[in-house]
C-alpha cells in the first residue's frame, strides 16, 4: 500500500498534464501512486498519461467520461486509489519539489489525522506576483494533531480540494463515505462535508501545490445559470453539519463562509445575467433555515447585507450594492486607434450592426495574400460565395495582391470600418491591440506552423525571447478574442493550449495552406519550377533556416551554399528561402543559388523542391506532407534549445538525417543517404505524428464549420495518412 495516492483529473488540460505528472514523478519521496483520470475519448490526455505509465509503474491511468464532470473524475480516482492518504491535483497544477517528503515527515509527527491542510501558491502565468492565500487562514491553527473544535474557522470552505491530504479510510469508510457531489462548486460541497465530519486535523504551514491561475479566472465565475448550484452545495453542507451536531461555533464559521459566497454571487451582475432575484430569495430561505443559534452577523456594510438577505429584501440589497459601484464607460479600457478622427470613426462603426456576410482576413501582420487565411479565402469563394471578403495588407504589399481580391490598407479608415463591422475575422497572427471583440463576431486563429520552439506564455522563462515579446498580459488579452484555434496535429493542440491559454475551441482540421500538397499535379510542379528558374533535370534542394532570437541579420546559417552545391553533386541547385523577418525585397541569387525568399507562396517553393534542408523551422512539418527527403542541419542545436526553448527533442525524432557540420551535410547528399531507406523510415514516423490532420480538405472543413455553421459530425472526415497521395516530385531521386 503506497503512502500517497495523487489523483489528477485531466479534462481540458492535456497541454499541461505532462508538467503536472512530471512534478509528481520527480518527487524525492517515492512511495506513491499517481492516478491520471482521462476522458475515455480524449486521446491527447490519454497519450500523455500512457507515455508516463510506460516509463513508471507508479502511474496508473483510469478513465471517466466528460459527462461525469470534475466530481465524477475525482470519485473515479478515489475508487482506484490504494494509498493511505489521498491528494487531488488539477491537471494544470504542479507539486513543488520536496512536497511529498514534507507531507510524510509532518504526518509522522502528528500520527493519523483525517485531513491535513497545507498551503498553496497561486501563480499567474502572465505579469503578477505569486500569492499564498492559505497562509493567513492556517496561521492561527494549533500545532500537531488537534480536534476541530480547537480551530472552528477551519470548518469553513475557503480551501480548494487540492490544498489538503485526506486519509483514505476516512473518506471511504463504510458507515458514511464522503464523495465529491455532482454539479458545479463541488469543492464547496466536498470541503464542507469533510471539514464537518473530520475528528482529527493537522496543518502544514508549507506550500505543497503550485496552482496556475487561469487567465480568465475561475471557470465557475463565468456567467450562467450554474451559479444556482452554489446554493445546492450550501444546503448539502449545512444539512450535514446539523445532522452531525456540530458545535455552534463551528456551525457559525461554516454558515458565515457559505453565506459570504452566496452574497458575493448575488452582488455580481455578470455571474447571473438573469434570475438574481430568485437566487437572492432562495439564499434568504437557506439563511433563515440554517442560521445557528446565537450567530451574530459581522459588522459594517457586510452585516447590513446579512440582514437584508435574512429578510429577503432584494430591492434594498440591489440599491445598496448599486451605490457602491461607479459606472464605467464601455470603451474606457479600450486601446483605441491613433488619430482623433479615426477613433471617432471606429467608435461610430462599432455602434452599427455587424455585417453577417463580411469576413476580414489577414496573414503575417499584413504581408500579403498568404498562408492559411489565403487558402480559407480561396475555398470560401467556392463554397460560401455570399460571404464578402476583405484582405488586410500593408501599403507596400498592395501590388502583390491577386487580381479580384478585395483589400484594405492597414491603418486606413476602411481598415477600421471592416474590422468594426465584420462578423468573421480570420488571422494567422493577431489583429491590432485596439480591435474590439464584438458580441456575435467570430474570430478564427489559424496559426502559421507547428510549434517546435516555445510560443506564447511559455516564452516567459527565456529572457531573450521574452524581452522581444513584450507584455504577456496584452498578448493574452488578444488571445481572449479567439473563438476558434486551428490545429494540424494533436501535438499542436496540446502546445497551443499551454502557450495560449484561453476559452476558445480547438479545430483539429489540418492546415488549409497544406491542402495544395495533395491537390497539385505533376504539371503544377513543373510550372512552379519553371517560374522559379530551376534548370530542368536538376535536384532542387530547398534551404529554409529559421530565425534565431540571439542573432542579428541573416547569414544563411553559416553555410557556404556555393561550396555545398559543389560538394553535394553537380546536379544540385539550392532554393534559398530565408525567414520572412529577413525579406527585404533583395535577391541573393548567384550561380547555383536561387533566392526565393521574396516569393509569395512558401507552398509553391516546397512543391518545386526535391528535398528540404532546414534547421528548426516549422516548414519541415508542412514539407513532410510531400513525403520527400528532409535533412536537419543542426550546427547550434544546444544553443538554440537553451535560448529559445523547444517542446520536444528534435534530435531524438528527426524527419531524416541530422548533419552538424557543412561536411556532413554535403556527404548525405553526395552518397544518397538523404534519400535512403533509413531516411524514409524516420520521415514516415514524423509524418504520422505531425501531418495527422493534413489530408487536402482542411480548408473545406474550416469553411463549412466556421462560415457556414455546419455541425462537426457533418464535416468531411480526415483521410488516414496511408490513404493519402501527395503531389509528385519533379523527377525520381536518382543520384549521379
Confidence of residue 528 (pLDDT cuts 50, 70, 90): very high
> Residue 586 pLDDT > 60, yes or no?
no
Q: Which of 30-34, 200-204, 309-313 has the lowest mean pLDDT?
A: 309-313
**Total Cβ atoms within 10 A of residue 467:** 10
The pLDDT of residue 335: 40
Please list the residues that pair with 210 across neighbouring strands: 94, 121
Render pLDDT for 395-447 as a digit per residue (tens, 0 to 9): 999 999 999 999 999 989 999 999 999 999 999 999 988 899 999 999 999 99
Task: Give the mean pLDDT of the chain.
Answer: 89
Question: Sorting pLDDT into bands at 50, 70 and 90, what band is 373?
Answer: very high
Give the mean pLDDT of 620-643: 94
Contact 541, 729 (CB under 8 A): no
pLDDT at 33 over 70: yes
Secondary structure (3-state) at 211: strand
Cell numbers for 308: 437584508
Which is it for the CA torsion 475, 478, 484, 488, positive or negative?
A: negative
Q: What is the pLDDT of residue 215?
A: 60
Alpha carbons 95 and 87: distance in angstroms, whole number: 10
Reported as type and span, the H/E element at residue 604 is helix 602-608
CA 11 to chain CA centroid, Å, is 13
Q: In b/e form, how buried is each residue of 499-537, taking b as 16+ CB within 10 angstroms?
A: bbbbebebbbbbbbbbbbbbebeeebbbebbeebebeee
More confident residue, 215 or 666: 666
Q: Using CA atoms, how far apart are residues 52 and 75, in angstroms rounded to an integer?
A: 22
Q: What is the model's pTM?
A: 0.72
For residue 163, pLDDT beyond 90: yes
Cross-strand partners of 392: 362, 408
Q: Judge whether residue 587 has pLDDT over 60.
A: no
Q: Which of 328-337, 473-482, 501-510, 637-646 has the lowest mean pLDDT?
A: 328-337
Would you state the pLDDT for residue 334?
Answer: 37
Strand-strand pairing, 115-124 and 164-167? antiparallel
Average pLDDT, stretch 357-366?
96
Residue 2 neighbours by CB distance under 10 Å: 16
Say if residue 394 is exposed, middle or buried (CB neighbours under 10 Å; 0-12, 13-18, 19+): middle
Helices and strands in the chain, H and E counts: 27, 21
Instruction: Give the whole-angstrom CA distance, residue 490 versus residue 496.
Output: 10
Average pLDDT (455-460) is 85
Of the chain, the percentage scoring pLDDT greater than 70 comes to: 91
Only one residue has cell 450535514, namely 240
DSSP 271: T
Do the Cβ atoms of 265 and 277 come closer than 8 Å? Answer: no
Which element (helix H / strand E) includes 621?
helix 619-623
Give the ranges where 295-366 is alpha helix by DSSP (H).
Answer: 300-311, 314-323, 340-351
Residues in the chain: 736
pLDDT of residue 419: 95
Mean pLDDT, residues 297-317 = 85
Rounded CA-CA distance 682/674 in Å is 11
pLDDT for position 327: 32
- The average pLDDT across 241-248 equals 91
Mark residue 536 as left, alpha or beta (left: phi above 0; alpha: psi -120 to 50; beta: remaining). beta
388-393 β-sheet, strand order: 407-409, 388-393, 355-362, 422-427, 442-445, 484-487, 505-508
Nearest to 620 by CA among 635, 633, 610, 630: 630
pLDDT at 38: 92
Looking at residue 315, its pLDDT comes to 84
> d(Cα 677, Cα 656) in Å, to the nearest integer?
10
User: What is the β-pairing status of strands 115-124 and 201-213?
Assistant: parallel
Beta bridge partners of 33: 5
Q: To which H or E segment does residue 324 belong?
A: none
Q: How many angstroms separate the CA atoms of 317 and 231, rounded?
A: 18
The reported pLDDT for the residue numbered 126 is 60
Predicted local distance difference test score (pLDDT) of residue 328: 32
State residue 41's pLDDT score: 63
Take residue 249 and report the three cell numbers written for it: 461555533
**pLDDT mean over 558-563:** 85
Of 303-317, 677-691, 705-719, least confident by mean pLDDT is 303-317
What is the spatial distance between Cα 441 and Cα 437, in angstroms, rounded to a whole number? 7
Mean pLDDT, range 587-596, rounded to an integer? 75
pLDDT at position 337, please?
55
**Gap between the Cα atoms of 42 and 378, Å rounded:** 32
Task: Assign 3-class secondary structure to 91-116.
Answer: CCCEECCCHHHHHHHHHHHHCCCCEE
Q: What is the DSSP string of 673-735?
A: GGGSHHHHHHHHHHHHHHSSS-SS-HHHHHIIIIIS---GGGSPPPPPGGG--PPPPSS----
pLDDT band at 330 (very low <50, low <70, confident <90, very high): very low
Per-residue pLDDT tens for 308-329?
899 888 888 877 765 544 333 3
Confidence of residue 655 (pLDDT cuts 50, 70, 90): very high
Neighbours of 427 (CB within 10 A): 27
Span 240-256, average pLDDT? 92
3-class secondary-structure state, position 436: coil
Q: Name which residue leads in pLDDT, 618 or 156.
A: 618
567 phi/psi in degrees, rounded to 5? -80, -30
DSSP assigned state of 489: S
> For the packed helices 186-197 and 69-80, what is the interaxial angle rounded to 10 degrees?
50
Mean pLDDT of all residues in 99-116: 96
Q: What is the structure's pLDDT at 43?
A: 72
Residues 500, 428, 460: CA angle, nearest 5 degrees? 30
Strand-pair partners of 95? 209
Strand partners, 151: none
Of these ranges, 152-161, 266-275, 548-557, 616-625, the one predicted with the greatest mean pLDDT is: 616-625
Predicted confidence (pLDDT) at residue 345 exceeds the cutoff of 90: no
**Burial annotation 436-456 (CB, 10 A radius, 16+ → b, else e):** bbbeebbbbbbbbbbbbbbbb
Rounded to the nearest 5 degrees, what angle is found at the Cα of 183, between the Cα atoms of 182 and 187? 80
Determine the pLDDT at residue 585: 45
Q: Give the up-direction half-sphere exposure of residue 468: CA atoms within 13 A in the CB hemisphere.
A: 13
CA atoms of 156 and 627, how far apart (whole Å)? 61
Amino acid at each position: 500500500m503506497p503512502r500517497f495516492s495523487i489523483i489528477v483529473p485531466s479534462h481540458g488540460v492535456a497541454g499541461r498534464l505532462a508538467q503536472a505528472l512530471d512534478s509528481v514523478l520527480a518527487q524525492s519521496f517515492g512511495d506513491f501512486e499517481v492516478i491520471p483520470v482521462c476522458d475515455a475519448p480524449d486521446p491527447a490526455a490519454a497519450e500523455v498519461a500512457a507515455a508516463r505509465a510506460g516509463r513508471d509503474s507508479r502511474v496508473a491511468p483510469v478513465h471517466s467520461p466528460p459527462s461525469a464532470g470534475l466530481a465524477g473524475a475525482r470519485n473515479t480516482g478515489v475508487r482506484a486509489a490504494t494509498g493511505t492518504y489521498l491528494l487531488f491535483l488539477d491537471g494544470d497544477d504542479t507539486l513543488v519539489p520536496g512536497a511529498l517528503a514534507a507531507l510524510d515527515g509532518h504526518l509522522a509527527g502528528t500520527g493519523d489525522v483525517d485531513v491535513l491542510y497545507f498551503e498553496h501558491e497561486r501563480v499567474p502565468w502572465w505579469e503578477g506576483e505569486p500569492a499564498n492565500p492559505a497562509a493567513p487562514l492556517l496561521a492561527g491553527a494549533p500545532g500537531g494533531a488537534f480536534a476541530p473544535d480547537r480551530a472552528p474557522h477551519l470548518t469553513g470552505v475557503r480551501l480548494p480540494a487540492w490544498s489538503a491530504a485526506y486519509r483514505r479510510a476516512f473518506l471511504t469508510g463504510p458507515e458514511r463515505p464522503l464523495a465529491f457531489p455532482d454539479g458545479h462548486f463541488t469543492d464547496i460541497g466536498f470541503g464542507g462535508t469533510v471539514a464537518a465530519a473530520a475528528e482529527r486535523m493537522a496543518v502544514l504551514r508549507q506550500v505543497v501545490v503550485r496552482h496556475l491561475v487561469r487567465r480568465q479566472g475561475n471557470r465557475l465565475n463565468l456567467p450562467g445559470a450554474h451559479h444556482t448550484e452554489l446554493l445546492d452545495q450550501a444546503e448539502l453542507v449545512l444539512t450535514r453539519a446539523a445532522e452531525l451536531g456540530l458545535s455552534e461555533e463551528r456551525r457559525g464559521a461554516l454558515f458565515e463562509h457559505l453565506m459570504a459566497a452566496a452574497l458575493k454571487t448575488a452582488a455580481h451582475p455578470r455571474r447571473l445575467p438573469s434570475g438574481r432575484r430568485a437566487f437572492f430569495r432562495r439564499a434568504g430561505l437557506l439563511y433563515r433555515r440554517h442560521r445557528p443559534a446565537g450567530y451574530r452577523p459581522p459588522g459594517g456594510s457586510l452585516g447590513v447585507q446579512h440582514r437584508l438577505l435574512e429578510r429577503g429584501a432584494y430591492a434594498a440589497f440591489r440599491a445598496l450594492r448599486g451605490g457602491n459601484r461607479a459606472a464605467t464607460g464601455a470603451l474606457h479600457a479600450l486601446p483605441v486607434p491613433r488619430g482623433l478622427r479615426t477613433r471617432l470613426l471606429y467608435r461610430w462603426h462599432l455602434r452599427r450592426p455587424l455585417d453577417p456576410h463580411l469576413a476580414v482576413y489577414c496573414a503575417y501582420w499584413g504581408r500579403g495574400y498568404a498562408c492559411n487565411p489565403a487558402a480559407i479565402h480561396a475555398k470560401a469563394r467556392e463554397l460560401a460565395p455570399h460571404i464578402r471578403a476583405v484582405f488586410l495588407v500593408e501599403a507596400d504589399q498592395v501590388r502583390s495582391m491577386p487580381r479580384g481580391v478585395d483589400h484594405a490598407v492597414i491603418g486606413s479608415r476602411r481598415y477600421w470600418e471592416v474590422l468594426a463591422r465584420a462578423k468573421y475575422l480570420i488571422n494567422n497572427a493577431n489583429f491590432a491591440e485596439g480591435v474590439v471583440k464584438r458580441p456575435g463576431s467570430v474570430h478564427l486563429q489559424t496559426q502559421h506552423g507547428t510549434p517546435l520552439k516555445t510560443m506564447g506564455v511559455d516564452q516567459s522563462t527565456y529572457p531573450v525571447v521574452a524581452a522581444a515579446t513584450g507584455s504577456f498580459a496584452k498578448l493574452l488579452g488578444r488571445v481572449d478574442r479567439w473563438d476558434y484555434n486551428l490545429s494540424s496535429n494533436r501535438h499542436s493542440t496540446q502546445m497551443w493550449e499551454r502557450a495560449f491559454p484561453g476559452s476558445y475551441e480547438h479545430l483539429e482540421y489540418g492546415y488549409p495552406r497544406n491542402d495544395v500538397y495533395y491537390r497539385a499535379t505533376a504539371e503544377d510542379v513543373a510550372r512552379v519550377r519553371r517560374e522559379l528558374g530551376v534548370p530542368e533535370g536538376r535536384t532542387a534542394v530547398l534551404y529554409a533556416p529559421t530565425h534565431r532570437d540571439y542573432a542579428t541579420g541573416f547569414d544563411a546559417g553559416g553555410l557556404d551554399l556555393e561550396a555545398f552545391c559543389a560538394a553535394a553533386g553537380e546536379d544540385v541547385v539550392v532554393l534559398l528561402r530565408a525567414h520572412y523577418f529577413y525579406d527585404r525585397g533583395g535577391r541573393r541569387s548567384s550561380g547555383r543559388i536561387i533566392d526565393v525568399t521574396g516569393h509569395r507562396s512558401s507552398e509553391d517553393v516546397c512543391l518545386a523542391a526535391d528535398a528540404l534542408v532546414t534547421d528548426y523551422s516549422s516548414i519541415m512539418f508542412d514539407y513532410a506532407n510531400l513525403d520527400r527527403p528532409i535533412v536537419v542541419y543542426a550546427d547550434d542545436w544546444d544553443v538554440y534549445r537553451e535560448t529559445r526553448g523547444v517542446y520536444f527533442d528534435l534530435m531524438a525524432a528527426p524527419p531524416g538525417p541530422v548533419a552538424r557540420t557543412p561536411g556532413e551535410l554535403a556527404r548525405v547528399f553526395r552518397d544518397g543517404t538523404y534519400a535512403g531507406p533509413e531516411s524514409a523510415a524516420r520521415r514516415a514516423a514524423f509524418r504520422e505524428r505531425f501531418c495527422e490532420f493534413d489530408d487536402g480538405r482542411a480548408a473545406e472543413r474550416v469553411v463549412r464549420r466556421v462560415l457556414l455553421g455546419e455541425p462537426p459530425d457533418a464535416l468531411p472526415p480526415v483521410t488516414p495518412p496511408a490513404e493519402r497521395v501527395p503531389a509528385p516530385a519533379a523527377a525520381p531521386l536518382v543520384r549521379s
